[in-house]
Structure 1
Amino acid sequence: MNISKLHPLLLLIIFLISCNSTDNDIIEEDDDQEIITDNCYTDQALDSSRGLCDVTLPYTNNFEETTSSTVRIISTNSIPNHDVGLFGAVQGSLNPNAITEQSEVYHITLTPTISSELTSLLSSTGPAYSFGVLLNGVELDPVAAEPFPHEGFDSPNANWEWNLEALNVNLGLDCTNAHVQPTGKYHYHGTPTSFLEHLNISNQEMTLIGYAADGFPIYYRYAYANANSSSSEVIEMTSSYQLKSGNRPGDGITAPCDVYNGIYTNDYEYVEGLGSLDESNGRTGVTPEYPEGIYYYIITEDFPSIPRYFRGTPSDDFRI
């Protein structure tokens, strides 16, 4: 056909049909493959709001720490030593699970060693470990059980590579970044604000606040500028994680799409040397309790707040 001899109106119609054929959200490449365009988006929203902490519990905090020659033993009822948010089956509660006393005993090695590989708190089938326990007996448990596509943690379609980040979505956390499991256990997903206020944390000294499941100590935010000198000034430690740039690679069906914004834990990436801490949000150095030096973790204000990896071997008492 000689296109130059076609009527101008017919040429215009052919041009419009050709343009429209490539302007769909989903382009059929073949019978079993689809390419999703940039119009894919997520229905999850950033939300860092927190509930009040204006409820005094009818329980007393019970925390006991003993040691043998090799093991630190922490016994606790998991009741915090501060006020909490409103939880339980009442109007206005942050989630429907009421806080109840627990009976927890943690055995933590006194001689932790660094392993050749990191152990993640999150496995391919869901949360594997809580991170540790504070000196008030309450667990640090940062990983939510909220995998994509948000049909429930026991969904056969659960993609645990993309798990909601508890600190950046509305999971009913109170002012101290904590909420309650269906079992009634109160636990922290991020910086335990009220607990730290109770300790009257200073920015002029290192403050031990708990122990990780692998036995290494946990400090809050501040450490010696020179890791090998307790006479050096105390400064704020910084995370080496940052938000990824661009868009998630998912199709919106088997994995999320849209821009990396912190809704998912996997929206963040570790960049060696970006901050003062390693991939496990820790480093090796001297501390007031360990003047000979030890590996220790830091809870930071920025992501990940509570570490998501162990440098040592975690105790099975923290297994989820």
Structure 2
Amino acid sequence: MTPRLVSFLLLATTVHADPQLTSWFTTDSGQYARLYQDSSAESAGTKSITWSRGSGTQSSPTYAGVSEIAYSASWVYIRTTGLASHVMGPWYLDSSKTQNFPNFPSNTATIYRIPRTPVIPGTKTSTGLGASGRAVNGVSIFDSRDAFSYVNASGTDATPTNGLTGDGIWNRDGWANEGVTFDPALAHQAGNNYHYHAHPIGLRYQLGDHVDYNAATNRYVESAATPTKHSPILAWAADGLPIYGPYGYSDPTNAASGVRRMISGFILRDGTHGTTAITVRQVLPLWAQRIQSKTTLTSTQYGPSVNTNYALGHYIEDFDYRGDLSQTQTTGSTVRDFDLNEQNVRYCVTPEYPSGTWAYFTPINADGTPQYPYTTGRQYYGSPTGGGVTSITETVTTSWRGGPNKTDVLNSPAVGASDVTITWSGIEGGSYTVQASTNLSTWSDMAAGTLSGDDAGQTVDTGGAGNSPRFYRISRAATLASFDSTGFNYTTNTAGNGTANAPGGTVTRGTTVTVTITLPTTPPQPPANLIPTGVTLAGTISGTSISRPAQGTVIATFVIPANASTGAQNIVVTFNPNPTYTMTGALTIN
């Protein structure tokens, strides 16, 4: 007879109740950020969790990406290290990879917020230097520029090394001028701030957005197969609008119209597609005239002639907006000349917004290379009221916590002919003990160790498939391995404090414990964005720091009194207006 195996599981469901809360990439939040320091390390597959170069020093490991999502009536806040969970690096200044890029990235300890209700003004605001939004993995998104422009008086571009400031009229295109310095995921750093200027292809691979990855070479490539699904949300702009990948519905109002690559509203001024070819840079395109309030340039404002050193595409002003060329944007079932407007958005239905939204897309060329304007346009479509803040100064509800606060998830055991394999998703640097029981009362240790290499744990119960009914659980020690906690909403637990799962967990009197509660399925669970109004243990112990990382999961922290009643105790989880779950004997106090 096949034995019955039960494990304590956290069941996560995919919901789209509020994409501003649910679209963040949290899968790898429990693992350290990693990079390749140089091509030799990349070839050997040697990833570093500590490093130092220029402005970027990471002397202790830190957790990748978003570590917390919280919200109020007006804002969504994230905490992030600004470091990706895909492998970063290496970076060079030249295509032959002989000159190192001057800086490594490091933990930026950022709190970023976006408005919950985007406002679409008639007058648009230009993007500034620095982050124009945040990718869903917490990494900065920059606009199309590289921060430098042509200096007419000197007859050269301003650069990071020549001390010139630039005229701000002919602005260098980041992809064209800095692309050589991007890592395979299409990012590099300003100071220690890791950021994307173009479609974040490494993140797109993680999100399943039509990208293939060769781990042996650390290279990403657009899939050769025909795209079959709409791109996911890759980022959120400072105006609160989503930024999607390159694929959207052919008819922006019809989710059943098929999927195709979105066509940018911008085109090189090369004489094709209705443009007038330029060989000298003496007239700005109409869109740039509007932004810069310059309809006619003087000779002291001219840019360089188009030549090998200043090829067409060197500056963002080398592009025309198709709407200024009497071309038509696609708004219905008939595919027109282009899809995305002057700010790189369109109004459309998406999987997350079936009723429609204004949304940015990250256009690419047919060969998969980035296409101008890459992320947002040179202006925001909405009011960019979001951005980085130094602290959260209002009352917020925490909807998810990760990084050092991540919830351990025990997966369903894999039963072989004789052995049982137990796997879980935990926290890198956490010290775990795997235990087994036949009766949920007496537990024996099976294995113990610290997660290293990533946030996935595994152990094998040799011969376990031949045992009588078998239960498994994991526990994590209160203290994590030393890490850079700057910017995390995290306090190191003192000895005796820790975590537990309910039902089935055990805690000790006189300790503070964070309990992960798996809700019953009856009555039906409320929407995932509804946070409980209260959680109590043993009738009188009230939970704090209540969050709900998934529809079937609630997390609460309890201070267990030294004189608390021992034995199996009830947990009561209350939602407003309903339901209330009473979980009999869910947690044992020793």
- TM-score, normalised to structure 1's length? 0.74
Provide the rounded CA distance (Å) in 1 between the counterparts of 2:201 and 2:360. 17
Provide the rounded CA distance (Å) in 2 between the counterparts of 1:57 and 1:264. 36
- In the alignment, which residue of structure 2 is the partner of 1:279? 342
Q: Structure 1 residues 193, 156: CA separation in 2 closer, same or farther (over 3 Å shift)?
A: closer
Q: In the alignment, is residue 116 of structure 1 matched against residue 116 of structure 2?
A: no
- In the alignment, which residue of structure 1 is the partner of 2:209? 201
Q: Structure 1 residues 227, 316: CA separation in 2 closer, same or farther (over 3 Å shift)?
A: closer
Provide the rounded CA distance (Å) in 2 between the counterparts of 1:306 and 1:221. 10
Q: In the alignment, is residue 298 of structure 1 matched against residue 299 of structure 2?
A: no
**3-state DSSP class of the match of 1:315?**
coil
Give the partner amino acid of 2:228.
Q
Superposition deviation, residue 318 in structure 1:
5.4
**3-state DSSP class of the match of 2:203?**
helix
Q: In the alignment, is residue 137 of structure 1 matched against residue 138 of structure 2?
A: yes
Q: 1:232 pairs with 257, 263, 273, which one?
A: 257
Task: Percent identity, please.
Answer: 25
- In the alignment, which residue of structure 2 is the partner of 1:172? 181
- In the alignment, which residue of structure 1 is the partner of 2:196? 188
Give the partner amino acid of 1:106.
Y
Superposition deviation, residue 247 in structure 1:
2.1
Conserved? CA contact 1:56–1:84, under 8 Å: no
Q: 1:314 pairs with 366, 372, 384, which one?
A: 384
Provide the rounded CA distance (Å) in 2 between the counterparts of 1:65 and 1:57. 27
Give the partner amino acid of 1:305.
Y
Provide the rounded CA distance (Å) in 2 between the counterparts of 1:135 and 1:193. 13
Conserved? CA contact 1:222–1:234, under 8 Å: yes
Q: In the alignment, is residue 265 of structure 1 matched against residue 269 of structure 2?
A: no
Provide the rounded CA distance (Å) in 2 between the counterparts of 1:57 and 1:137. 20
Q: Structure 1 residues 93, 67: CA separation in 2 closer, same or farther (over 3 Å shift)?
A: farther
Give the partner amino acid of 2:114.
I
Q: 1:216 pairs with 241, 251, 257, which one?
A: 241
Provide the rounded CA distance (Å) in 1 between the counterparts of 2:320 and 2:48. 39
Residue deviations 1:32-88, cap 9 Å, x none? xxxxxxxxxxxxxxxxxxx97937351431303222222111210001111122259
Conserved? CA contact 1:247–1:257, under 8 Å: no
Residue deviations 1:183-203, cap 9 Å, x none? x11001111111111222143
- In the alignment, which residue of structure 2 is the partner of 1:73? 77
Alignment of 1:10-21 (within 5 A): none
- In the alignment, which residue of structure 1 is the partner of 2:111? 105
Provide the rounded CA distance (Å) in 1 between the counterparts of 2:319 and 2:175. 13
Superposition deviation, residue 305 in structure 1:
1.4
Provide the rounded CA distance (Å) in 2 between the counterparts of 1:267 and 1:107. 33
Q: 1:241 pairs with 229, 248, 266, which one?
A: 266
Q: How many residues align?
A: 262
Residue deviations 1:192-233, cap 9 Å, x none? 111111222143222112211100111101111121222221
Conserved? CA contact 2:92–2:98, under 8 Å: no
Higher relative contact order (CA 8 A, sep 6+): 1
Q: Structure 1 residues 188, 248: CA separation in 2 closer, same or farther (over 3 Å shift)?
A: same
**3-state DSSP class of the match of 1:196?**
helix
Provide the rounded CA distance (Å) in 2 between the counterparts of 1:208 and 1:84. 21
Conserved? CA contact 1:163–1:266, under 8 Å: yes
Provide the rounded CA distance (Å) in 2 between the counterparts of 1:94 and 1:292. 48
- In the alignment, which residue of structure 2 is the partner of 1:56? 47
Give the partner amino acid of 1:101.
N
Conserved? CA contact 2:116–2:240, under 8 Å: yes
Give the partner amino acid of 1:148.
Y
More divergent stretch after superposition (91-100 vs 279-288): 91-100
Superposition deviation, residue 161 in structure 1:
1.5
**3-state DSSP class of the match of 1:194?**
helix
Superposition deviation, residue 120 in structure 1:
1.7
Unaligned residue ranges in structure 1 (runs of 5+): 1-50
Q: Structure 1 residues 316, 135: CA separation in 2 closer, same or farther (over 3 Å shift)?
A: closer
Residue deviations 1:117-166, cap 9 Å, x none? 222214xxxx3x52211110001113211111234579676211212111
Residue deviations 1:65-115, cap 9 Å, x none? 2222221112100011111222599x9454211211111111111110211
Superposition deviation, residue 252 in structure 1:
9.1
**3-state DSSP class of the match of 2:168?**
strand
Conserved? CA contact 1:94–1:173, under 8 Å: no
Give the partner amino acid of 2:78.
I
Provide the rounded CA distance (Å) in 2 between the counterparts of 1:248 and 1:186. 35
Provide the rounded CA distance (Å) in 1 between the counterparts of 2:190 and 2:200. 16
More divergent stretch after superposition (296-305 vs 56-65): 56-65
More divergent stretch after superposition (285-294 vs 152-161): 152-161
Provide the rounded CA distance (Å) in 2 between the counterparts of 1:209 and 1:108. 14
Q: Structure 1 residues 94, 256: CA separation in 2 closer, same or farther (over 3 Å shift)?
A: farther
Provide the rounded CA distance (Å) in 1 between the counterparts of 2:48 and 2:169. 36
- In the alignment, which residue of structure 1 is the partner of 2:352? 289
Provide the rounded CA distance (Å) in 2 between the counterparts of 1:155 and 1:116. 38
Superposition deviation, residue 255 in structure 1:
3.6
Provide the rounded CA distance (Å) in 1 between the counterparts of 2:63 and 2:208. 21
